[in-house]
């Protein structure tokens, strides 16, 4: 059984304003006071894991230990079937040091054109970590979500961030880039399935770590 989060303050272990906004929006109904790793001046750890789960754990544990507070970290990205799952855990790196996701999306499309397969999925791993102390090695939990869809071109919509404008989720006629955050992450206790990968991971976090069905 997952450890239950009972504290009233949580570090969001990200320096990405888009992720911070989305995670803060998802946490808002639960009255949890959040602060970002960027606001605390925490260094970004080297993400050298081989999976979304591993990288989320690296970020959550680093932030928790540095801040002395529980921390929640997200590692997520786009996995394209025709590219063998790339960009995957390197999704942000494909945007380069300038975080130019227009360039990253163009690169994905250029490579996808070599195949007739347009299938892809977004993955999110949320890691919740409690800080280690002299008498306690700390503790962590991971919650994962996934949403399937297709890559489209040209990019459509100016909402969201990252690869959202070229991802058309199954069952929708609009890309993530065309959806307001409230729609993309629409979820409430008792609702079967959220739309986005991050909200689906959050559903598991809310159920197992917050005790909300």
Q: What secondary structure letter does DSSP report for 173?
A: S
Asked about 75 being catalytic, the answer comes back as yes
d(CA 89, CA 58): 13
- The number of beta carbons lying within 10 Å of the beta carbon of residue 58 is 20
Dihedral angle over CA of 207, 179, 38, 28, nearest 10 = -40
Kindly name the residue from 75, 81, 148, 164 that is annotated as catalytic.
Answer: 75
Burial of 114 (0-12, 13-18, 19+ CB in 10 A): exposed
Measured distance CA(161)–CA(175) in Å, rounded: 12
Pairing of strands 167-169, 139-151: antiparallel
Which active-site residues does the annotation give?
A: 75
């Amino acid at each position: 059984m997952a450890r239950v989060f009972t504290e009233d303050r949580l570090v969001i272990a990200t320096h990405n304003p888009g992720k911070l906004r989305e995670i803060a929006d998802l946490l808002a109904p639960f009255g949890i006071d959040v602060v970002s790793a960027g606001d605390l001046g925490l260094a970004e750890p080297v993400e050298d894991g081989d999976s979304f789960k591993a990288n989320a754990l690296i970020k959550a544990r680093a932030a928790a230990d540095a801040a002395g507070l529980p921390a929640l970290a997200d590692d997520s990205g786009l996995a394209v079937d025709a590219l063998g799952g790339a960009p995957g855990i390197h999704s942000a790196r494909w945007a380069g040091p300038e975080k130019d996701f227009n360039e990253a999306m163009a690169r994905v499309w250029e490579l996808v054109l070599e195949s007739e397969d347009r299938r892809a999925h977004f993955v999110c791993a949320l890691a919740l970590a409690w800080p280690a102390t002299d008498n306690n090695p700390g503790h962590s939990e991971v919650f994962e979500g996934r949403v399937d869809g297709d890559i489209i071109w040209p990019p459509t919509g100016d909402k969201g961030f990252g690869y959202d404008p070229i991802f058309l989720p199954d069952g929708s006629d609009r890309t993530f880039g065309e959806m307001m955050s409230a729609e993309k992450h629409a979820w409430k206790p008792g609702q079967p399935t959220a739309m986005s990968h991050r909200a689906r991971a959050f559903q598991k976090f809310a159920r197992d770590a917050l005790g909300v069905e």
